[in-house]
Structure 1
Amino acid sequence: MTLKKKLEDIVVPSILVAGCELVGIEVVRGRRIIIRIYVDKKHGGVTINDCAVISRKVGCLLDSEDIFPVSYNLEVSSPGFDRPLFSYAHFVQFIGFEVNLVLHFMLYGRRRWRGIIKRATEDGSIILTVDNKEVHFMIDDIQKANLVAHS
């Protein structure tokens, strides 16, 4: 079982009890481990109180499961305007929106891409319109994806 899957299994019940849904989890390893949990709520959006309640519950669960032998920082927040996209379903949900992608490797000489999500195919590829051209990306090749926030 992957670390993200194990974390999801631990945190999802607490998120659901708070009336929210899990958007995704990021684990950033550096001097200190950072666990970022993004949650959303269908009606009315996530409040600071929602995040605080989830953070307390999840923090206790993670400590009791002893997943990380070293100290870590836990961050619980709404996905925000520059919402991260973690799954195929997220790309489908945001067809027509502008997105920034970072790939695990170079494609056509670059790792960073910005374009409009045109389509998501059943084989797991994401098609962006970049500079009036269609560019295909396999979802497994995407390291990070975020919607572009427009003011």
Structure 2
Amino acid sequence: MADKSALIAMLKPAVEAAGMEFWGLELMVSQRHALLRVFIEHEDGVTVDDCARVSHQISGVLDVEDPISTEYRLEVSSPGWDRPLFTEDQFARFVGGKIKFKTILPVQGRRNFTGTLEAVQDGTITLALDAETRVNISLSQIDKAHVVPDVQAELSKKR
């Protein structure tokens, strides 16, 4: 079975050929089947038709390359308001916003962090946990991260 970096290298061109930005992917594997979740983005937003078009494009690549050795389900979606963060550039887009993440191993005795993202530089983020407490964590130590949306701010943008 292909690893995530091989899947990204394989699928990113197909997403971009469909006129979308490749945001990231998650691969969850159990004994019987796998779930491949691909996130796409576009400056004008992502529609159901966009997801269907990209899903068709990706399915063609997966059928030819056959990188997943078990039965799998493909999901294509926008990253949403509480979007996962995969790359340093994505973290940088949300400096000043609130994020939540889990580390691979404990850092300062804990694995779960929530706070305001203050800086991203050279593969390290600075997170303000409160008014006095800051923590610097390497992106390589982060297992999963996502934006904590400010729902009120998002709703006021829609008006």
- Whichever residue aligns with residue 125 of structure 2, its letter is I
Q: Counterpart in 2 of 1:107? A: 107
- Whichever residue aligns with residue 67 of structure 1, its letter is P
Q: Counterpart in 2 of 1:128? A: 127
Shift of 1:37: 0.6
Kept after mapping to 1: 8 A contact 2:100/2:148: yes
Q: Where do 5+ consecutive residues of structure 1 fail to align?
A: none
Give the SS at the match of 1:105. strand
CA RMSD in angstroms, aligned pairs only: 1.3
- Whichever residue aligns with residue 84 of structure 1, its letter is P
Higher alpha-carbon deviation: 52-61 or 136-145: 52-61
Shift of 1:10: 2.0
Q: Where do 5+ consecutive residues of structure 2 fail to align?
A: 152-159
Shift of 1:91: 1.2
Shift of 1:32: 2.2
Task: Please give the TM-score of this superposition, normalised by the length of structure 2.
Answer: 0.88
Shift of 1:9: 2.3
Shift of 1:14: 2.0
Give the paired residue count.
148
- Whichever residue aligns with residue 131 of structure 1, its letter is D
C-alpha separation in 2, matches of 1:149 and 1:121 = 22
Q: Counterpart in 2 of 1:40? A: 41
The sequence identity of aligned pairs, in percent, is 34
Give the SS at the match of 1:25. strand
* Superimposed CA distance per residue, residues 64-111 of structure 1 (whole angstroms, 9 cap, x where no aligned partner): 211112110111000100011101111111100100011001112211
Structure 1 runs, 4 residues or longer, greater than 6 Å off: none
Give the SS at the match of 1:84. coil
Task: Please give the TM-score of this superposition, normalised by the length of structure 1.
Answer: 0.92
Q: Counterpart in 2 of 1:11? A: 11
- Whichever residue aligns with residue 107 of structure 1, its letter is V
